Amino acid sequence: MPTPSESSTVGGLRPDVSVVVIAYNDAARLPEAVASVLDQTLRALEVIVVDDASTDGTWDVAQALAEAHPDRVRAIRLPENSGGCSRPRNTGIDAAQGDYVMFLDSDDSLERHAAKNLLLTAERTGADLVSGLCVRVNVTNENKRTRWYARLYAEHATYDSIRDAPELLFDTLSTNKLYRREFLDRNGIRFPDGLHYEDLLFSTEAYCTAQPIAILPVEVYRWHVVEDAATASISNRRNNIANFRDRLQIHQRIDAYLVARGFDDLRPIKDRKFILQDLKLYLTDLARRDATYQEAWLNMAADYLETVSDEAVVSAGPLAAATAYLVRRRDLDETLHAAELWIHGRLSGGLCLDSGRAYLTGRYLEDDLGRELLDVTALHLHDAPFSRRNMRNRLVSIAGDRTAELRGEINDPLRAIDADDELSATLELRTADGRHRVDIARPQVELTAQGTLTWRASLAARRRPPRMPPNVKSWGLWMTLHHGDSVNVSQVISTTDVTAGRRLPWKRSPWTGQSLLWVERGPGDGVWLRVERASKAWRLADRVWSRVRRSGVYGDLRRLFLSARSRGLKSLVYRSVLVRLPVRRGTAVFESQLGRVYADNPKYVYRALRSAGDNRRVVWSYTESTSGWPQDAVLVKRASWRYFYELARAELWVDNQGFPPGAPKRRGTKYLQTWHGSPYKAMGFDQPQLQFGPADKRAEFAAGVGRWTHFCVQSPFADDTFRRAFRHSAKSLPSGYPRNDPLLRYDAAAVKDLRAQLELPDDRQIVLYAPTFRDSDRVTRTRSGLRLNLARLSELVGDRCYLLVRAHYLDRGSVPTRYSSFARDVSDYPDTTELLLLADGLITDYSSVMFDYALLRRPMLFYAYDLELYNQTRGSYFDLETEAPGPVVKTEDGVAEWLSDFRTPHLAYAERLERFVDKFCTYETGHASEDVVREFFGVGT
């Protein structure tokens, strides 16, 4: 068996990269990790498996891998378990033969091109250290992928030293990086033996020593995370106070290193990282620890925070800084209240109102720093309407057997509810995505003498439970609280173990027996109920059904059933039968965004048609619910048999994206394509995925475009660009976009009413943040989250603005509850035009809303943090930085500065805005809807 001293070659040549794979009692997952290295597109690499004296079959697996790949894999076994990751990794470094070194844990994997991308970057830049993007993959749900500190990896970068990019200290992982071996040896950089959290110190030393440092904005490392794993990882063993002691010891060693090497100026950045990452990690579940643990933890944390400067504490942001301050004061109760608001967005304590300001607590206001940090006035928690009031709803107890008695309490931080107020509530189950809801009880709600709301609900065994989707087993417990005409919705949580092992009977019957609701605590302390069947008959039927599903007969029947519902069959019937039916003269089929919403250009064309007195038969398609669609139209579910029937018989089609490719337009049918925006980014055949993609995809796209007979455009620029990009021959309608008519003909009183309807504050400027999606996210299979730090923005901007966040439907951001008085997610609001009307200012990037909002002549900011990467991956038709009708910024500091005063820069861009409107909105007159109805439908208005 090879030993550490033996040399290794790859095909007779010295390897370029050595990948050190460490393992301990992980025989099952080690082969997959090693396979992710052997499958790399870089072939000149070696694998060094270091087994930390495992007691299972890990060493046997490592030996087998080395024997199967003798030229590429070596296996090393430590004589005794080291208890951590340092010694195995150091052993691997010493044994490495490559010019560069990487690290991989046995339960993780490398992206297939990781080694090659990192190596090429190192050779191109001469970097001692190259860091790439790490993606956390939820093994339980692989669709849940999170990019680790994605903001650090927005674009390619090379830094002469860590002082050029001190924020890199936030990414202390050692595994998403490539290190020059000579660099590690020359500087004596090794992992600290005998200590956990070794990555923190190792990465700090590497960052501070490396010259230069290169950043690679692509995925290289996949960090596999297992929910509810039987054996917690070292970093997840937070219930042991020694775990926190080890982390503090590492931080103390980092502090000493920074001082000794002359990097004192980096200490504030590193301390801010400690508060925002390390301290927060333990505060997340501190409320569930016993009193002994809480006291020991608080004293250790306070002792360390006393070595942290006030400036570093303040820089962490309002709620984080307030929590750190309260830890310093060794006030456990107020620390827990502040942490719950900071981390979970719930107010579990009361606010203190003093001299028109709101504070997390009335304590410590005599201290100038305490008064500054505890001030949360800018978050508007104190004046939020009831619907957005921040109230913690906590399950206190569950009692009973056949009838379960649930008791809970709701914290009203303002004590604004009176005893004689009308209160009622509904207890309901909701799926994680919110698509399914089931009412289960009507709790009794009372106000105690102390000002706390309490509630009681009974869940009795019933023969017939509410109708629930059969495939959904996990449900969250929620409550809708009615206070007069206002409604507040909150998730029921549990901060104690009242849910442990509890089960509630749901129904009994001779066949199914008892259906149980198991009560458990989920993410964020939410109470979740899991549905299970309990009878022997049900379990027998379930086993039989499982065997049937695995059989070939089931597969054949399932495919037959699905084929009857498939679009392929519907398309065949459409082309061979339905298009032979007579055309229903005058009938029009309307669709917007593939049936997702009743909005955009088709909506305003339809409204103009009805306003003109035209009562023709109109069919609207929908995907989920008919709520919000016009009631004077025929509503059909998209892709249903009825949908294809209506398409085949309609004389007119109107949409803004594309009808199914399996439904060719019959001769004589007119098709109005309104589209959904003017072009900045590459469209149609100019898109890389079409330009360089499969020929059949290009043919399918061309066939879809070939159906168009009329096409709406905003300007000559859009007309020329679209005609080239789509290669269409439809008749262009130089009308502008119907959806923009309200922007040019809006009624100020109606806008004011709409703002009141949405409960928007009337004493602040409303700013809409509406970014587009990223094509690069399709490669990493991730969705762009909210790229703004709301904590920091709320602190810097304060009372001046209220932010509306409108994510693209392909993306999803999120606005934590704790910022509901500063920002709100309006991604599900159907009509973007109405949101544009409401907004006093717009923040966007490359979205076509820039062309629409320009018509209002209001301030715009372009937050283009990844401009170069976006243009590389998607492409654009003009230079945003020279033509944008507002500032183009690439940092959050630029956003904060603009939000503080966006009127002044707006005046500076007045002339450019007019040139922008003249060039890109040439045909916009405010009468596009009427013009389109006249031209396409032949109806005068």
Q: What percent of the chain has pLDDT over 70?
A: 86
780 has a pLDDT exceeding 60: no
The stretch 863-867 carries a mean pLDDT of 89
pLDDT bin (cut points 50, 70, 90) of residue 702 is very high
**Which of 304-308, 679-683, 685-689, 787-791 has the lowest average pLDDT?**
787-791
**Contact by Cβ (8 Å): 22, 89:** yes
510 has a pLDDT exceeding 70: no
The stretch 9-35 carries a mean pLDDT of 89
**Contact by Cβ (8 Å): 102, 30:** no
For 753-771, the pLDDT digits (tens) are 888 888 888 888 999 999 9
Across all residues in the chain, what is the average pLDDT? 87
| CA atoms of 493 and 907, how far apart (whole Å) | 49
Regarding predicted confidence, which is higher, 422 or 602? 602
pLDDT bin (cut points 50, 70, 90) of residue 530 is confident
pLDDT of residue 151: 83
pLDDT of residue 544: 73
Please state whether the predicted TM-score (pTM) of the whole model is above 0.85: no
pLDDT of residue 441: 87
pLDDT bin (cut points 50, 70, 90) of residue 924 is very high
φ, ψ (nearest 5 deg) of residue 778: -65, -30
783 has a pLDDT exceeding 90: no
Contacts with 433 (C-beta within 8 Å, 6 or more apart), sequence order: none
Regarding predicted confidence, which is higher, 564 or 932? 932
pLDDT bin (cut points 50, 70, 90) of residue 501 is low
pLDDT of residue 18: 97
Q: Which amino acid is at 773?
A: F
For 106-164, the pLDDT digits (tens) are 999 999 999 999 999 999 999 999 999 999 988 766 557 888 988 899 889 999 999 99
Burial class (CB in 10 A: 0-12, 13-18, 19+), 569: middle
Burial class (CB in 10 A: 0-12, 13-18, 19+), 143: exposed
pLDDT of residue 155: 84
Contacts with 242 (C-beta within 8 Å, 6 or more apart), sequence order: none
109 pairs with which residues across the strands? 222
pLDDT bin (cut points 50, 70, 90) of residue 556 is low
The stretch 782-799 carries a mean pLDDT of 69
How is the chain split among helix, strand and coil, in percent rounded to 5?
40, 20, 40
pLDDT of residue 4: 41
**Which of 341-355, 511-525, 896-910 has the lowest average pLDDT?**
511-525
HSE of 69 in the Cβ direction (CA atoms, 13 Å)? 21
Closest C-alpha to 675, from 764, 612, 752, 738: 738
Closest C-alpha to 148, from 175, 118, 114: 175
Q: Which tokens go with 148?
A: 């680790």
For 396-445, the pLDDT digits (tens) are 888 876 677 889 999 888 888 887 888 899 998 888 767 778 888 899 99
**Contact by Cβ (8 Å): 831, 604:** no
pLDDT bin (cut points 50, 70, 90) of residue 893 is confident
pLDDT bin (cut points 50, 70, 90) of residue 911 is very high
For 196-246, the pLDDT digits (tens) are 889 999 999 999 999 999 999 999 999 998 755 444 444 455 678 888 999
Regarding predicted confidence, which is higher, 808 or 782? 808
- 3-class state of residue 239 by DSSP: coil
pLDDT bin (cut points 50, 70, 90) of residue 909 is very high
pLDDT of residue 5: 38
The stretch 547-557 carries a mean pLDDT of 63
pLDDT of residue 571: 87
Taking residue 81's Cβ as centre, other Cβ atoms within 10 Å add up to 15
pLDDT bin (cut points 50, 70, 90) of residue 6 is very low
For 261-310, the pLDDT digits (tens) are 999 999 999 999 999 999 999 999 898 899 999 999 999 999 999 999 99
Closest C-alpha to 708, from 664, 648, 756: 664
